[in-house]
């Protein structure tokens, strides 16, 4: 297994990592909250490998990570009002839930018509998803603690094709907001919760 160390400015050459993702590999990568596990979100075999690695229950969906907000309309349905709100939130420590488009594999959503989307405020995760969406799921065995450093993560989950070491991460889990309801509904409180509360109060005003 190869490990890439990223400098203090979170800069590094991600070409090798993107090649691994294109070829169906699994990459352990940093976000603006915790470390995540990424595979090509359009590659069903890679997604199956990821489920096996995490020992994730087959009924639990997996979110995706995008490079920027321009990508959202390619994988999910948006209306202008929701789009304006989302652009205030992203990039940031939020997972937004939208109605998916057909190109999103059912294996990711496990039969649901909704998809979770992240655009982290982190140049590494956004750089990895520059050419294609990747999965955004915590780097742990399902139901177990998510560690803040790659040494402990790898000890728990085993080897991946590539690990990107950005040092300890202290962001905590993302806040999850379902934008398929009116008004939007917070499904999980996490990082950035106060910011989304302020925005939602403004929506009701």
Mean pLDDT of the chain: 91
Predicted confidence at residue 148, as pLDDT, reads 94
pLDDT level of residue 18 (50, 70, 90 thresholds): very high
- With beta carbons less than 8 A apart as the criterion, state whether 145 and 115 touch: no
Structural domain harbouring 197: 2-204
Evaluate if residue 114 carries a pLDDT over 90. yes
C-alpha pair distances (Å), 103 with each of 91, 109, 168: 23, 12, 35
For range 7-20, the mean pLDDT: 76
Among all chains, which residue has been given the structure tokens 């399902």?
A: 142
Q: Is the peptide bond before 88 cis (omega within 30 degrees of 0)?
A: no
- With beta carbons less than 8 A apart as the criterion, state whether 117 and 96 touch: yes
Predicted confidence at residue 1, as pLDDT, reads 87
pLDDT level of residue 9 (50, 70, 90 thresholds): low
Joined together, the tokens standing for residue 14 give 């991600």
Q: What digits encode the pLDDT tens for the residues 65-111?
A: 999 999 999 999 999 989 988 988 999 999 999 999 999 999 999 98
What strand order describes the sheet that includes 94-99?
2-5, 162-165, 27-30, 35-38, 134-138, 63-65, 114-118, 94-99, 175-178, 185-188
Phi, psi (degrees; rounded to nearest 5) at 114: -110, 150
Instruction: Give the CA radius of gyration of the chain.
Output: 16
Q: What sign does the dihedral 129-136-110-44 (CA atoms) show?
A: positive
Predicted confidence at residue 10, as pLDDT, reads 56
Q: What sign does the dihedral 85-29-187-117 (CA atoms) show?
A: positive
pTM for this entry: 0.91
pLDDT level of residue 170 (50, 70, 90 thresholds): confident
pLDDT level of residue 201 (50, 70, 90 thresholds): low
Q: What digits encode the pLDDT tens for the residues 19-64?
A: 999 999 999 999 999 999 999 999 999 999 999 999 999 999 999 9
Predicted confidence at residue 199, as pLDDT, reads 73
CATH number of the domain that 121 lies in? Answer: 3.90.870.10
Domain count within the chain: 1
Joined together, the tokens standing for residue 175 give 């806040």
Rounded to an integer, what distance in angstroms lies between the CA atom of residue 30 and that of residue 122? 8
Predicted confidence at residue 23, as pLDDT, reads 96
């Amino acid at each position: 297994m190869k490990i890439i160390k990223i400098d203090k400015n979170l800069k590094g050459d991600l070409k090798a990592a993107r090649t691994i993702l294109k070829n169906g590999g699994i990459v352990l990568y940093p976000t603006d909250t915790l470390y995540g596990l990424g595979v090509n979100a359009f590659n069903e075999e890679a997604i199956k490998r990821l489920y096996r690695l995490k020992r994730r229950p087959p009924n639990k969906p997996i979110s995706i990570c995008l490079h920027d907000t321009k990508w959202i309309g390619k994988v999910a349905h948006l209306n202008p009002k929701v789009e304006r709100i989302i652009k205030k939130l992203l990039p940031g420590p939020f997972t937004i839930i939208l109605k998916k488009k057909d190109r999103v594999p059912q294996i990711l959503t496990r039969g649901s018509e909704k998809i979770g989307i992240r655009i982290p405020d982190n140049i590494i995760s956004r750089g990895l998803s520059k050419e294609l969406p990747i999965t955004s799921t915590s780097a742990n065995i399902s139901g177990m603690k998510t560690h803040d450093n790659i040494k402990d993560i790898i000890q728990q989950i085993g080897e991946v094709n590539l690990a990107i070491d950005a040092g300890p991460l202290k962001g905590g889990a993302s806040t999850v907001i379902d934008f398929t309801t009116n008004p939007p509904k917070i499904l999980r409180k996490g990082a950035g919760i106060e910011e989304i509360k302020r925005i939602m109060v403004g929506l009701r005003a």
